[in-house]
Amino acid sequence: MTDIERELVIVSLYPRDMNIYGDRGNVLALSRRAEAQGFTPRIVEINPGDPLPDTIDIVIGGGGQDSGQGRVALDLATRADTVRGLADDGVPMLMICGLYQLFGHRFVTHAGDELTGIGVLDVETLGGTERMIGNIVLDTDEFGEIIGYENHSGSTHLGPGSVPLGRVVQGAGNAPDAGAEGARTGNVIGSYLHGSLLPKNPAISDFLIGEAARRRYGSFTSVAPVNETVVRARESAKRRPR
């Protein structure tokens, strides 16, 4: 089998309800990057009630309004054991904002409603009055500098079972003055960074693709360079004020 025939199944979680600030761009960027790395991506969109495919290589999800989060929280609860099993098995996942919150233990909205999460990440979130909005820059050991855009009012607190995705260089992060952004347990990453995140941060796409490829095909060697447009987009977003 040549590399180009290698399929990677990307499950896009709840694109109907959880797709704001360009989160769908993450799915497109991941798919293009997988092609550039010599794989044949297959995107499977899962909305409430849809059956999951038999093979799942990567799971990716975005953010949404509190109302959309309520709808998907109920559906996600029915899949909690399956998703936890996949996470324990090393399936790489990226959950942005609203789904980052629901992959934690709970999200208590500003109105006081409690949405139960699936606890894949050891985090919990409290809705607040202050919105954290703007361009954000992180420093990370594994992915280098991460550049994104945050827009949330939830403040997320990490337990010992998760480590932050990165240190905040510019912006708020998990909470006002948290100093840290995102959470990671095993191969599952949660983050508030929209923007979209993956078009500007191919290192994270390569992590998701690499872990998926190692699980399914036994190895991964990056063959795709980072193109000039990405470099320019990163520089331009970094220069913008918050």
**Binding residues for ligand GLN (CB under 6 A):** 20, 63-64, 66, 97-98, 151-154
How many angstroms separate the CA atoms of 241 and 149, rounded? 11
Active site residue 194: yes
Cα torsion angle, 73, 56, 189, 201, sign? negative
Residue number, 37 or 155, with CB nearest to ligand GLN: 155
**Axis-axis angle for helices 80-88, 66-78 (nearest 10):** 80
Residue number, 132 or 209, with CB nearest to ligand GLN: 132
Residue number, 151 or 170, with CB nearest to ligand GLN: 151
Q: Is residue 63 within 8 Å of residue 20, measured between CB atoms?
A: yes
- Among residues 105, 152, 157, 194, the one annotated as catalytic is 194
CB of 152 to ligand GLN, least distance (A): 4
Residue number, 63 or 117, with CB nearest to ligand GLN: 63
- Residue number with the smallest Cβ distance to ligand GLN: 63
CB of 131 to ligand GLN, least distance (A): 7
CB of 101 to ligand GLN, least distance (A): 6
CB of 154 to ligand GLN, least distance (A): 3
Residue recorded with tokens 């470099």: 231
Instruction: For residue 129, give the 3-state DSSP assignment.
Output: strand
Which sequence positions are flagged as catalytic? 97, 194
